[in-house]
Each structure stands twice: as structure tokens, then as C-alpha cells.
Amino acid sequence: MQLDGNLFALPNWLLHLLLLSGLVLAALLVWFWLRRPFPNHLREVLRYALILVIFCSFLQVLWPFFLLPAMIIFTQTLLLVMRIERVG
């Protein structure tokens, strides 16, 4: 199998696995980054949002509809984290 060809020529299970691993890895990296000490009352909200992203990532393997909420929640969480870092 050539991996340098068309991405959509890959099997569906491999595409789902790549999406799952990418989303979960990115969410876990942000979650571990949030563990560092900084005073903020939104830390719990961000933690629950990232848990929801990980949950939706695993559910997207069963039903691909869950990919869209996972990506939207993850993008909004990242934007909020960047805003907190810039301000505080």
C-alpha cells in the first residue's frame, strides 16, 4: 500500500483510526497543558469540554456524525485557551 498517494484511497477503518488518534492525542496534549498552575475559574469547564471531545472522538468510529461536534468543541476550546493565555 502506498501512503504517498491519495488520502481517500485508504481504507475507511484506517481513516477513522487516523482521525481518532489525532483528535485524542491533541485533546490529551491540551488537557496536560492545562494542568500547569495558573489561576483561572474556567479550568473545570475546559477539562469537561476536552473530555467531551475525547468521548465524541471515540463515538465517531461508530457513527461519523460525532466528528463534527468533536471538531467544533475542540476548536472552541483551543480558542478559549489561547485567549486565556494571552490575557492572563
- Label residue 21 exposed, middle or buried (CB < 10 Å: 0-12, 13-18, 19+): exposed
Query: pLDDT tens digits, residue range 33-84?
Result: 777 776 677 788 888 998 999 999 888 888 888 889 999 999 998 888 888 7
Rounded mean pLDDT, 11-16: 82
Q: Is the pLDDT of residue 87 over 80?
A: no
Residue 77, domain member (yes or no): yes
- Give the domain range for residue 36: 11-87
Q: CA nearest 80: which of 88, 2, 1?
A: 88
Q: Is the pLDDT of residue 2 over 60?
A: no
Domain count, the chain: 1
Residue 20, domain member (yes or no): yes
What is the torsion angle, in degrees rounded to the nearest 10, for the CA atoms of residue 70, residue 73, residue 79 and residue 84? -120
pLDDT of residue 63: 85
Grid cell locating 88: 492572563
> How much is the pTM?
0.74
Q: CA nearest 78: which of 56, 46, 54?
A: 46
